[in-house]
Copies of this chain bind each other. A is one copy, B any other.
């Protein structure tokens, strides 16, 4: 079926609640290739008339002149079906705003920001920096996008990182993953890769937001890393499969990393670097900017220290995963037992027992020594309170270590390929 026939059928179809008509998905697939990076006006028009009507008018030439100029010769082309098939072949799917899986809440920050853009295109933000929401997201992996980013933190930093930076990024990624937070990063060399790997080592799903197609490993040597990420977490991109990692796409992509997460942790950044710019964009989207300091003798920490010295940026120094969690969610509220569980058991805990409980990871069990380190107490104290916590069904022994007793299944559906 041609795109135009598909659109016509979609426009005439009855809306089925909870189901997205294939024509809508195809229209958004077409939009994701035809105009990128999306402009403020482009997004507003799609939002205004809907994807089916937007595509129809752009193809027929009846869309407003300004938009036709942006789309240009691409209006006549159509790779939407090929893109959707190519995605299916690599185990990816197109998530659209009409899907229940769409991360509407995190992306709301972009919707708010784009509303603040002036009407006059001359006065709007630079196209690569404009806070335009994505028209759709190509995702590859078994997890549900909205659930995965619900409690997520971005870890970003220099590609030319030092051993110190990689160690800290890996440790943060691991500890955040261990505590049930999703680590989002860009899949690049250096800090990004260390953060992803740290999360994977904690058997936590992690999200790489790419500046190219989700079927195209970039950097190429990260092919195995991307495969591992796609096994439990997600690869996410605004660009259809096959798209190349063009220079401007990294800048455009960075706003997504900031928007999808509750806060951005900058681990290492050289003076006037991209990581700094990402942090400032996160700040403008109302996100926490968290910065890991380093030796003042390291060029790779200069950008971090610049961020921390700039009081107007309001960046917070973080030295541990606990600091990050304190900033983005609060240990008390976020790791408290879910409401389904009787509250009484936790309420009666001693201060020490509560700290040990808070120290327990959600997935992989850990030994009493590690619990003692995290809780800041003696290992004998840990051994003393664990039996009571186990009796209260708050923690469980996994065979190799202690972890929080998982809450009753909420149905984290592994998701199907499109």
Chain A residues packing against B (C-beta within 8 Å): 164, 167-168, 292-297, 301-302, 305, 308-309, 316-320, 323
Interface centre among A168, A296, A309 (most CB of B within 10 A): A296
Write out the residue numbers on chain B whose beta carbons fall within 8 Å of the beta carbon of A301: 293, 319
Can you name 16 A-B pairs with beta carbons within 8 Å?
A164-B297, A168-B296, A292-B296, A293-B296, A293-B301, A293-B308, A294-B295, A295-B295, A296-B319, A296-B320, A302-B319, A305-B317, A308-B308, A309-B317, A309-B323, A317-B317
Q: Could you tell me the dominant secondary structure of chain A's interface residues? A: mixed
Write out the residue numbers on chain B whose beta carbons fall within 8 Å of the beta carbon of A292: 296
How far apart sit A302 and B320, CA to CA, in the bound complex (Å)? 10
How far apart sit A294 and B292, CA to CA, in the bound complex (Å)? 10
The answer to whether B317 touches A308, judged by C-beta atoms less than 8 angstroms apart, is yes
How far apart sit A166 and B85, CA to CA, in the bound complex (Å)? 61
Beta-carbon nearest neighbor of A319 in chain B:
B296
Beta-carbon nearest neighbor of A267 in chain B:
B296
How far apart sit A317 and B315, CA to CA, in the bound complex (Å)? 12
CB within 8 Å for A167 and B308 given contacts A302-B319, A319-B302: no
How far apart sit A317 and B311, CA to CA, in the bound complex (Å)? 10
Q: A292-B296, A309-B318 are in contact. List 9 more A-B contacts (CB 8 A).
A: A164-B297, A293-B293, A293-B317, A294-B295, A296-B320, A301-B319, A302-B319, A305-B317, A309-B319
How far apart sit A295 and B297, CA to CA, in the bound complex (Å)? 10
Write out the residue numbers on chain B whose beta carbons fall within 8 Å of the beta carbon of A317: 293, 305, 308-309, 317
Write out the residue numbers on chain B whose beta carbons fall within 8 Å of the beta carbon of A320: 296
- Min CB distance A25 to B, Å, is 45
Protomer copies? 2
How far apart sit A318 and B293, CA to CA, in the bound complex (Å)? 11
How far apart sit A319 and B318, CA to CA, in the bound complex (Å)? 17
Beta-carbon nearest neighbor of A296 in chain B:
B319
How far apart sit A99 and B323, CA to CA, in the bound complex (Å)? 51
- Min CB distance A165 to B, Å, is 10
Write out the residue numbers on chain B whose beta carbons fall within 8 Å of the beta carbon of A295: 164, 294-295
The one of B168, B305, B323 that contacts A319, using a Cβ cutoff of 8 Å = B305
Beta-carbon nearest neighbor of A168 in chain B:
B296
How far apart sit A295 and B302, CA to CA, in the bound complex (Å)? 13
Beta-carbon nearest neighbor of A167 in chain B:
B297
How far apart sit A309 and B318, CA to CA, in the bound complex (Å)? 8
- Min CB distance A138 to B, Å, is 36
How far apart sit A316 and B310, CA to CA, in the bound complex (Å)? 10
How far apart sit A167 and B295, CA to CA, in the bound complex (Å)? 11
Beta-carbon nearest neighbor of A298 in chain B:
B295
Beta-carbon nearest neighbor of A310 in chain B:
B317
- Min CB distance A371 to B, Å, is 19
Write out the residue numbers on chain B whose beta carbons fall within 8 Å of the beta carbon of A168: 296-297
Write out the residue numbers on chain B whose beta carbons fall within 8 Å of the beta carbon of A164: 295, 297
How far apart sit A317 and B304, CA to CA, in the bound complex (Å)? 11
- Min CB distance A10 to B, Å, is 53
How far apart sit A102 and B316, CA to CA, in the bound complex (Å)? 41
Beta-carbon nearest neighbor of A307 in chain B:
B317
- Min CB distance A112 to B, Å, is 26
How far apart sit A295 and B316, CA to CA, in the bound complex (Å)? 16
The answer to whether B305 touches A293, judged by C-beta atoms less than 8 angstroms apart, is yes
How far apart sit A292 and B294, CA to CA, in the bound complex (Å)? 10
Beta-carbon nearest neighbor of A164 in chain B:
B295
How far apart sit A39 and B60, CA to CA, in the bound complex (Å)? 89
- Min CB distance A384 to B, Å, is 24
- Min CB distance A328 to B, Å, is 15
Beta-carbon nearest neighbor of A316 in chain B:
B309
How far apart sit A167 and B298, CA to CA, in the bound complex (Å)? 13
